[in-house]
Amino acid sequence: MTLTTTHPVLDASFASDNVAGVSPEILTALGRANADAALPYGADPVTTQLREVIKETFGHKAEILPVFNGTGANVVALQALLPRWGAAICSAQAHVNNDEGAAPERVGTVKLLPRPTPDGKLTPADVQAELKALGFVHAAQPLAVTLTQSTELGTVYTPEEIAGVADLAHAHGLGVHLDGARISNAAAALGCSLSEITSAVGVDVLSLGGTKNGAMAAEAVVVLDPERVAGTEFIQKFSMQLASKQRFISAQLLELFGTDLWRRNAGHANAQAAKLGRLLAEIPGVTLSRPTEVNATFPEVPARIAQALRERYLIHVWDTAPSGNPVLRIMCSFDTSDAQIHALLECARRAWHVKLGVVPTLGT
Instruction: Supply the pTM of this predicted model.
Output: 0.93
For 102-140, write each residue's pLDDT tens digit. 999 999 999 999 999 999 999 999 999 999 999 999 999
Residue type, 98: N
Distance CA 105, CA 101 (A): 9
Q: How far is CA 160 from CA 53, 83, 157, 274, in A?
A: 25, 28, 8, 24
R_g of the chain computed on alpha carbons: 22
CATH superfamily assigned to domain 262-355: Aspartate Aminotransferase, domain 1 (3.90.1150.10)
Please give the average per-residue pLDDT across 161-170, as a whole number. Answer: 98
What lies within 8 Å, CB to CB, of 302 at 6+ separation is 285, 286, 325, 352, 355
| Averaged pLDDT of the chain | 94
DSSP bridge partners of 328: 317
Please give the average per-residue pLDDT across 21-49, as a whole number. Answer: 97
Instruction: With a cut of 50, say whether residue 1 has pLDDT above it.
Output: no
Count of CB atoms situated within 10 Å of the CB of 244: 9
For 228-270, write each residue's pLDDT tens digit. 999 999 999 999 999 999 999 999 999 999 999 999 999 999 9
Q: If DSSP codes are grouped into helix, strand and coil, which group holds residue 207?
A: strand
Q: Do domains 38-259 and 262-355 have the same CATH topology?
A: no
* Per-domain boundaries in the chain: 38-259, 262-355
Of 9, 17, 10, 93, give the one whose Cα is nearest residue 330: 17
User: What pLDDT, on a 0 to 100 scale, did the predictor assign at position 359?
Assistant: 45
Q: Mind giving me the DSSP string for 48-106?
A: HHHHHHHHHHH-TT-EEEEES-HHHHHHHHHHHH--TTEEEEEETT-HHHHSSTTHHHH
Residue type, 121: K
158 touches 95 (CB < 8 A)? no
Please give the average per-residue pLDDT across 146-155, as a whole number. Answer: 97
Torsion sign, CA atoms 6, 8, 13, 15: negative
For 166-208, write each residue's pLDDT tens digit. 999 999 999 999 999 999 999 999 999 999 999 999 999 999 9
Q: 38-259 domain in CATH 3.40.640.10? A: yes
Distance CA 124, CA 129 (A): 9
